[in-house]
């Protein structure tokens, strides 16, 4: 390849990657390796090809070559962090974060990201050290206080608590600051037993988040109805051959116990946790269209359904590195595309977790979700309606999917762990192993708001937490009306 042809070939390869065509980009990039004497940029984009195909080992090899040529390139370091995180290489991820931090030691972002990673892997002490140091250096960065309080119990006399309380009355606080500080102070108040003060912080924190990311209930309801209409079919059996991986979809509302259920299954020697991957919904939208224009399930043949299943499987393999066997997928929104899943993946299991709506509402309202996600979570009445709509969706699917749909109640699981866990493991298509009740000893990363709880054994102490806040939950209870709680 002549020097004059290198740039056009490179731009063409990037265009193929941008349009989601890795197979067309790869031969161009491979030819460019020789022409550029193995330029770091070419290795980097070959890593993108591998990532799109779900080939994490190939991706890591290409990133290693890129870092050999350009060891201080932030984009390559960041991509390597993502790839090694998927493979569970904790020591390597920490080392990569340190290299990234060294490029700009005053940048808050990489250090905060490292702290979050340490929290996800259970190194709460290491994360606390980083966050306390960051707060000393950047006392106005209020998100750091919320990150710290998430898994660290700060005593009332802690200097950081005094600092947060001093910030709170400042009328110059913007919505971002009010949001992060309010959730942090609510957690501090709860940890110190001052339950009468918790909602005094939660209300303005949620109001601020609601202004930053407004909730459109009619749009949500229309989307859910459109998805159901598109998937209303006379037959939910699959014309597709089973794939090596056997996905177990664990769904429910946030804070309903889905993480606990996933960890019990993933503690089995034949299973692995995938977490909230989100690929079933995103790939259904990519393949069949958004809800309002989704292709009718009954019109899809084996080829289209098989392609959907294949894309899902490749992304799961990329994210988990799992060999053939069970992989759990704890994506909250999977229930929206149960029909596509059932028709495309005959080996898939569908598990729904239910919990007392009052405990769900309390836990949703007092937790910060990434801005723009779970927009209903900032309003107690909207939470009530969302729980009702979710139940309505499961009621719609139940007669259509029959015994492919397994339902479990959180309260039953924590009050009778062994028998409920045995039923759960059977529903996942696995034989019982005693290790499934010792999931809290397994370690590994947990990307969820339950990252502290899942490192504890099952106990019944989390039931009926709402009773301490019954008066504060009055808007939720009023919006719930006369519907039964169970």
Query: In 3-state terms, what secondary structure has residue 401?
Result: helix
Distance, CA of 42 to CA of 29 (rounded, Å): 6
For residue 139, pLDDT over 50 is answered with yes
The rounded mean pLDDT for the chain is: 93
Cβ-based neighbour number of residue 138 at 10 Å: 15
Distance, CA of 10 to CA of 5 (rounded, Å): 9
* pLDDT given at position 325: 85
Sign of CA dihedral 65, 71, 72, 74: positive
Structural contact between residues 110 and 101, judged by C-beta atoms closer than 8 angstroms: yes
* pLDDT given at position 1: 63
Structural contact between residues 277 and 210, judged by C-beta atoms closer than 8 angstroms: no
What are the structure tokens assigned to 377, written together?
Answer: 């979570």
* pLDDT given at position 244: 82
What are the structure tokens assigned to 433, written together?
Answer: 């192993």
Scanning the structure block, which residue is given the tokens 């912080």? Answer: 201
Distance, CA of 93 to CA of 79 (rounded, Å): 11
In sequence order, what are the residues at sequence separation of 6 or more whose Cβ sits closer than 8 angstroms to the Cβ of residue 130? 111, 112, 114, 115, 118
For residue 54, pLDDT over 90 is answered with no
Angle of helix 143-151 relative to helix 175-191, nearest 10 degrees, comes to 20
* pLDDT given at position 456: 58
Alpha-carbon 50 to chain mean position = 22
- Of 153, 152, 131, the residue nearest 142 (C-alpha): 131
Structural contact between residues 48 and 18, judged by C-beta atoms closer than 8 angstroms: no
The model's pTM is 0.90
Tens of pLDDT along 65-88?
999 999 999 999 999 999 999 888
* pLDDT given at position 355: 96
- Of 399, 397, 421, the residue nearest 408 (C-alpha): 421
Instruction: Walk across the sheet containing 405-409 and list its strands.
Output: 271-273, 325-329, 245-251, 349-354, 405-409
Q: 455: pLDDT confidence band, cut at 50, 70 and 90?
A: very low
Mean pLDDT of 213-233: 97
> How much of the chain is helix, strand and coil, in % rounded to 5?
65, 5, 30
Q: 20: pLDDT confidence band, cut at 50, 70 and 90?
A: confident
What are the structure tokens assigned to 186, written together?
Answer: 């609510």
Q: Please give the share of the chain, as a percent, with pLDDT higher than 90.
A: 85
* pLDDT given at position 320: 86
Q: Are strands 349-354 and 405-409 parallel, antiparallel or unpaired?
A: parallel
In sequence order, what are the residues at sequence separation of 6 or more whose Cβ sits closer than 8 angstroms to the Cβ of residue 150? 119, 187, 449, 451, 452
- Of 70, 130, 67, 69, the residue nearest 94 (C-alpha): 130
What are the extents of the domains in the chain?
144-212, 218-480
Mean pLDDT of 16-40: 94
Q: Are strands 325-329 and 245-251 parallel, antiparallel or unpaired?
A: parallel
Lowest mean pLDDT among 54-58, 78-82, 353-357, 379-383: 54-58
* pLDDT given at position 157: 87
Tens of pLDDT along 310-340?
999 989 988 887 667 899 999 989 999 999 9
Tens of pLDDT along 397-422?
999 999 999 999 999 999 999 999 99
* pLDDT given at position 364: 96
DSSP alpha helix (H) spans, 54-137: 56-69, 74-87, 90-103, 108-120, 124-137
> H or E stretch including 408?
strand 405-409
For the chain, the distance separating the N- and C-terminal CA atoms, rounded to the nearest angstrom, is: 69
* pLDDT given at position 380: 98
Distance, CA of 141 to CA of 119 (rounded, Å): 19
CATH number of 218-480: 3.40.50.300
Lowest mean pLDDT among 240-254, 269-283, 456-470: 456-470
* pLDDT given at position 324: 77
Cβ-based neighbour number of residue 221 at 10 Å: 14
């Amino acid at each position: 390849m002549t020097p004059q042809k290198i740039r056009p070939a490179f731009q063409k390869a990037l265009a193929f990657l941008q349009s989601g065509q890795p197979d067309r980009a790869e031969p161009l990039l491979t030819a460019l390796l020789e022409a550029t004497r193995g330029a770091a940029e070419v290795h980097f984009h070959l890593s993108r090809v591998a990532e799109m195909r779900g080939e994490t080992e190939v991706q890591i090899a290409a990133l290693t070559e890129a870092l050999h040529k350009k060891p201080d390139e932030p984009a390559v370091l960041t991509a390597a962090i993502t790839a090694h995180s998927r493979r569970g290489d904790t020591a390597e991820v920490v080392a990569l974060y340190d290299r990234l931090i060294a490029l700009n030691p005053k940048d808050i972002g990489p250090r905060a990201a490292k702290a979050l990673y340490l929290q996800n892997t259970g190194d709460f002490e290491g994360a606390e050290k980083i966050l306390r140091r960051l707060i000393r250096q950047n006392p106005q960065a209020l998100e750091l206080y919320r990150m710290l309080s998430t898994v660290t119990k700060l005593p009332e006399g802690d200097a950081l608590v005094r600092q947060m309380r001093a910030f709170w009355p400042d009328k110059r606080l913007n919505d971002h600051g009010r949001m992060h500080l309010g959730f942090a102070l609510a957690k501090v108040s709860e940890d110190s037993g001052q339950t009468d003060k918790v909602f005094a912080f939660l209300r303005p924190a949620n109001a601020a988040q609601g202004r930053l990311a407004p909730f459109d209930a009619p749009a949500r309801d229309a989307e859910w109805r459109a998805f159901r209409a598109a998937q209303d079919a006379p037959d939910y059996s699959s014309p597709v051959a089973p794939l090596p991986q056997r996905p177990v979809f664990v769904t429910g509302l946030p804070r309903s116990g889905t993480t606990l259920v996933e960890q019990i299954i993933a503690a089995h020697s034949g299973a692995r946790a995938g977490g909230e991957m989100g690929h079933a919904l995103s790939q259904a939208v990519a393949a069949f269209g958004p809800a309002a224009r989704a292709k009718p399930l009954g019109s899809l043949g084996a080829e289209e359904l098989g392609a959907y299943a294949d894309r899902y499987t490749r992304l799961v393999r990329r994210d988990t590195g799992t060999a053939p066997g069970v992989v759990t997928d704890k994506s909250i929104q999977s229930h929206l595309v149960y029909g596509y899943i059932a028709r495309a993946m005959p080996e898939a299991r569908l598990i729904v977790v239910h919990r007392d709506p009052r405990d769900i509402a309390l836990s949703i309202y007092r937790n910060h979700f990434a801005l723009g996600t779970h927009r209903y979570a900032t309003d107690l009445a909207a939470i009530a309606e969302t729980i009702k709509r979710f139940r309505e969706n499961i009621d719609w699917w139940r007669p259509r999917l029959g015994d492919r749909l397994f339902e479990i109640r959180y309260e039953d699981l924590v009050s009778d762990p062994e028998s409920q866990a045995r039923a759960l493991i059977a529903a996942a298509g696995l034989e019982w192993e005693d290790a499934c009740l010792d999931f809290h000893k397994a370690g590994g990363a947990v990307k969820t708001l339950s990252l502290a709880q899942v490192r504890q054994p099952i106990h019944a102490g989390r039931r009926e937490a709402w009773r301490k806040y019954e008066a504060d939950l009055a808007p939720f209870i009023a919006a719930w009306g006369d519907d039964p709680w169970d």
